[in-house]
A and B are shown apart, each in its own frame.
Chain A
Amino acid sequence: MHEDALLTMDKITKVYPNGIVANNEVSFSIRKGEIHALAGENGAGKSTLMRILFGLEESQGGTITLNGSEIKVGSPHEAIAHGIGMVHQHFMLVPSLTVAENMILGVEPRKRLKIDLQKAIKDTRILSDKYNLAVDPLVKVQFLPVGTKQKVEILKALYRGAEILILDEPTAVLTPQETKELFAELKLLKNLGTTIIFISHKLHEVKALCDRITIMRNGRSQGTFNISDVTPTDISRLMVGRDVILEIKKGPSRPGNVMLSVKDLVMANDLGQRAVKGVSFQVRKGEILGIAGVEGNGQSELVEGITGLEKIAHGEVLIGGEAVNRKSIKEIRNLGTCHIPEDRMTYGVAKEMTIEQNVLADKHDSPAFTGPILTKTRAIRDLSNKLVRYRDCRSFASAEAGMLSGGNIQCSCRPEFFADPQLIYDSRSADLGHRWGKLNLSVTAW
């Protein structure tokens, strides 16, 4: 495509077994020593394209050319051998191993039968100094904050000789300060000769950091541009396919009585550390409360405490005036609580069951749907069809939940599917106001 291209992916096509075309003849090319942004909405096919480049997925068509010769990347091992490294959105680290051990995993230096740990520690220090990525080689990864884990991931790729570094939405888990730090580090990397592919949908980050940008939509490339030639409006139009209105209309709120009250809540995480440190707040009826913060700062543990998924270490949660500390999840739900989890595929739905069956999940013991021995098939079907038709969930009640797209899964997690919701916890909704504004409920979001 370009004569000066370091790496070119030509006409890459990927169709998943469920028929979704993730990449449709995508062509993508990068130059040596640049920071190249790969932008697009969720599900546009960015990650799939990069997973193909890193050997994690197999493409059905297309070629990859590196330094002028065609290469086949059948596994991450081969990608690494070609000097391609990837930092995944979910870190690929082994928590119980130290930083140095994670660094050398798979390419261990040896001293007779043993791992040469001294060399690993020394190498980690040298690399960490060279690229100004400060990490302590002797600390176990499980005790590191997210930002530092990311540094370990970048160092890991560099240790394996990566000349092309793929970063999959690296800023999603970082605070603004950490993001600034990361950008300085990436610019240093670039000056030292590393080529970087930066996957993101945050426009101002792309503008601040990158040299060129390739935009994807619906599995197709929308073209590659010099970053100085396009405005943020251009980029978002190419990403979404229409002009984007970022403001929503919302009437004044008319809050009522206190529905949810959290007092001095303390929660522990899996490692026995304090994750929630004495949080207090109240939510009134008809109110939307946003909880902001970067991933891993106690939001998940806070929700687990309110919804009864984990035991509360200290403090109190009152729903409609009733303390829930000793209540079961079922009792908390019966108080009118509904929880839309962060990871819907795992906690929101049973993937291999139909929507009907998923809808029944919290109603299986209701006499309206269950007789003395058998479930009442017709009542369940009627309800499911009613709910599926409600608003714009375009799917069939008998479809398997796992076959649905992310948006439709969100639909089947909707509180309308549950009996008489009073309180809704939602994480990861892009258009909260639009979704919940019409309902006279308390909504907590983060």
Chain B
Amino acid sequence: MGEFLKIVFTTEFGYSVLRVTTPILFAALAALITDRAGVINIALEGIMLIAALTGVLFSAWFNSAWLGLIMALIFGLLSGMLIGYFHLQLKTNVILAAVALNLMASGGTIFILYIIAGDKGISSSIASKVLPKIALPLLDKIPVIGPILSGHNVLTYFALISVFLMHFFINKTPLGMRIRAVGENPEAADSVGISVKKTQFIALSLSGLIAAFGGAYMSMGYVSWFSRDMTAGRGFIALAAEAMGGASPVGSFLTSLLFGFFDALSNSLQLLRVPAEFVQMIPYVATVVGLVLYTAAKRKQHQRMLMKVGKKMESEA
């Protein structure tokens, strides 16, 4: 136990929580935008994988991490648009389209990796680039907070800023309001001339773009290579985080942070003599437990509401 606490209460651990939260947070925000538009995008996992590989390959070919990022974003955007095209234009079930994309991404990335790098597991033979880390001036001088907050990858900071950008976008802009209207009452949106299809297509495309940030971060920040299925379920954990966060940007950020905490914990505990398989299970168990608690809390809330409504009657009578 002492050793456990020694690991958790360190600035290194705080730093690593933010580091591992980043991809989950991007994916959660990507899930949020489609959820609010009334379509669920469960292809975040696949889109992140595609973006992760694209980033590695193009950053090596162009010899530039930034161009790698841009290509990753383009491929993410295209993947989102592809789902939109299948679901909205060709009328496939959105879940099936997303499952197909996930499977295609999982197998396809390995296939392409093998063709280009001659390896089915890892891209270490490719000289890919990494996005820069940023030391925050002044802040990095402060003890405890400095080492936790400073020196992160540029995309980690962007992820944090994205929470506020998303809040602004969803709540304050015309497109954000249209997305909310389409998700809540598509007939109402339709009756005032808002195209439900177009709005959902935009939401799916943007979600591909945002998830691609998370994917690019995985292979060009979190680590400096691509490995098979490296997203390891983060796209799905993010769906849970978004739902538990009540589909709000700030709520999703907090739940992402929670899952990031358990992810970081599983990384750190590997230093102790706990079986690796058990430790690796932690983020996923945390997700299941989190969802159970979330549902239980919702139920409790409903019961309390009924109690309140009933009681009020008694006191008035």
- Residues of chain A touching chain B, judged by Cβ–Cβ distance below 8 Å, are 56, 75-77, 80, 86, 88, 90-97, 101-102, 105-108, 110, 113-115, 156, 160, 264, 266-268, 272-274, 277-278, 311, 313-315
How distant is B290 from chain A, measured CB to nearest CB, in Å? 25
Tell me if A313 and B185 are in contact (CB < 8 A).
no
Q: What A residues does B193 contact at CB under 8 A?
A: 75-77, 80, 106
How distant is A47 from chain B, measured CB to nearest CB, in Å? 14
How distant is B200 from chain A, measured CB to nearest CB, in Å? 15
Tally A-B pairs: CB < 8 A. Answer: 92
**Stretch binding the partner chain, chosen from B174-182, B203-211, B218-226, B253-261:** B174-182
Q: What A residues does B313 contact at CB under 8 A?
A: 264, 266, 274, 277-278, 313-314
Given A97-B181, A110-B174: A160 and B309 within 8 A (CB)?
no
Give 17 pairs: A residue, B residue, CB < 8 Å, sorted on A: A56-B191, A75-B193, A77-B193, A88-B191, A94-B189, A97-B177, A97-B181, A105-B177, A115-B172, A115-B173, A115-B177, A264-B313, A266-B310, A268-B309, A274-B309, A274-B312, A278-B317
How distant is A65 from chain B, measured CB to nearest CB, in Å? 22
CA distance A143 to B310 in the complex (A): 20
CA distance A102 to B178 in the complex (A): 10
Q: What B residues does A86 contact at CB under 8 A?
A: 191
Q: Known pairs A92-B192, A106-B192, A313-B306; list 17 more (Cβ under 8 Å).
A: A75-B193, A88-B191, A90-B187, A92-B187, A92-B188, A94-B185, A95-B184, A96-B184, A105-B192, A113-B172, A115-B173, A115-B174, A160-B192, A274-B309, A278-B317, A313-B307, A314-B311
Tell me if A94 and B306 are in contact (CB < 8 A).
no
How distant is B59 from chain A, measured CB to nearest CB, in Å? 31
CB-CB contacts of B156-191 with A at 8 A, as 1s and 0s? 000000000000000011100110110011011111
List B262-314 residues whose CB lies under 8 Å from chain A.
Answer: 305-314
Q: What A residues does B180 contact at CB under 8 A?
A: 94, 96-97
List B109-137 residues whose CB lies under 8 Å from chain A.
Answer: none
How distant is B155 from chain A, measured CB to nearest CB, in Å? 23
Q: What B residues does A88 contact at CB under 8 A?
A: 191
B8 at the interface (CB under 8 A from A): no
Tell me if A108 and B174 are in contact (CB < 8 A).
yes
How distant is A379 from chain B, measured CB to nearest CB, in Å? 36
Q: What A residues does B184 contact at CB under 8 A?
A: 94-96
Q: What B residues does A105 contact at CB under 8 A?
A: 177-178, 181, 188-189, 192, 194
CA distance A250 to B45 in the complex (A): 67
**B-side interface mostly:** helix
Residue of B nearest to A116 (CB): B174
Tell me if A314 and B192 are in contact (CB < 8 A).
no
Q: What A residues does B177 contact at CB under 8 A?
A: 97, 101, 105, 108, 115
CA distance A315 to B314 in the complex (A): 10
Tell me if A114 and B185 are in contact (CB < 8 A).
no
Tell me if A313 and B309 are in contact (CB < 8 A).
yes
Max count, chain A CB within 10 A of own CB: residue among B173, B188, B307, B314: B188
Tell me if A94 and B173 are in contact (CB < 8 A).
no
Q: What B residues does A92 contact at CB under 8 A?
A: 185, 187-188, 191-192
CA distance A416 to B110 in the complex (A): 62
Tell me if B187 and A272 are in contact (CB < 8 A).
no
Tell me if A314 and B309 are in contact (CB < 8 A).
yes
How distant is B192 from chain A, measured CB to nearest CB, in Å? 4
Tell me if A106 and B317 are in contact (CB < 8 A).
no
Given A114-B172, A115-B174, A278-B317: A268 and B305 within 8 A (CB)?
yes
How distant is A410 from chain B, measured CB to nearest CB, in Å? 25
CB-CB contacts of B22-38 with A at 8 A, as 1s and 0s? 00000000000000000
CA distance A97 to B193 in the complex (A): 17
Q: What A residues does B187 contact at CB under 8 A?
A: 90, 92
CA distance A75 to B196 in the complex (A): 12
CA distance A160 to B191 in the complex (A): 12
CA distance A110 to B312 in the complex (A): 44
CA distance A442 to B310 in the complex (A): 28
Q: What B residues does A268 contact at CB under 8 A?
A: 305-306, 309
Q: What A residues does B306 contact at CB under 8 A?
A: 268, 311, 313
Residue of A nearest to B193 (CB): A77
CA distance A92 to B305 in the complex (A): 28
How distant is A269 from chain B, measured CB to nearest CB, in Å? 9
Max count, chain B CB within 10 A of own CB: residue among A88, A266, A315: A266
How distant is B175 from chain A, measured CB to nearest CB, in Å? 9
CA distance A114 to B177 in the complex (A): 10
CA distance A381 to B317 in the complex (A): 53
CA distance A273 to B309 in the complex (A): 7
Residue of B nearest to A117 (CB): B172
CA distance A107 to B178 in the complex (A): 10
How distant is A393 from chain B, measured CB to nearest CB, in Å? 32
Max count, chain B CB within 10 A of own CB: residue among A93, A278, A313: A313
Q: What A residues does B314 contact at CB under 8 A?
A: 314
- The one of A101, A106, A156, A274 in contact with B189, judged by C-beta atoms closer than 8 angstroms, is A106
Residue of A nearest to B184 (CB): A94
Q: What B residues does A266 contact at CB under 8 A?
A: 309-310, 313
Q: What A residues does B305 contact at CB under 8 A?
A: 268, 272
CA distance A88 to B308 in the complex (A): 35
How distant is A122 from chain B, measured CB to nearest CB, in Å? 17
Q: What B residues does A156 contact at CB under 8 A?
A: 192
How distant is B203 from chain A, measured CB to nearest CB, in Å? 16
How distant is B211 from chain A, measured CB to nearest CB, in Å? 23
How distant is A298 from chain B, measured CB to nearest CB, in Å? 12
Max count, chain A CB within 10 A of own CB: residue among B178, B180, B185, B191: B191
- The one of B188, B310, B311 in contact with A94, judged by C-beta atoms closer than 8 angstroms, is B188
Given A75-B193, A80-B193, A95-B185: A106 and B310 within 8 A (CB)?
no
How distant is A51 from chain B, measured CB to nearest CB, in Å? 11
Q: What A residues does B191 contact at CB under 8 A?
A: 56, 76, 86, 88, 92
Sorted from nearest, which 7 A-B pairs have the closest CB atoms? A314-B310, A77-B193, A106-B192, A108-B174, A313-B310, A92-B188, A92-B191
Q: What B residues does A96 contact at CB under 8 A?
A: 180, 184
CA distance A115 to B184 in the complex (A): 19
CA distance A345 to B269 in the complex (A): 56
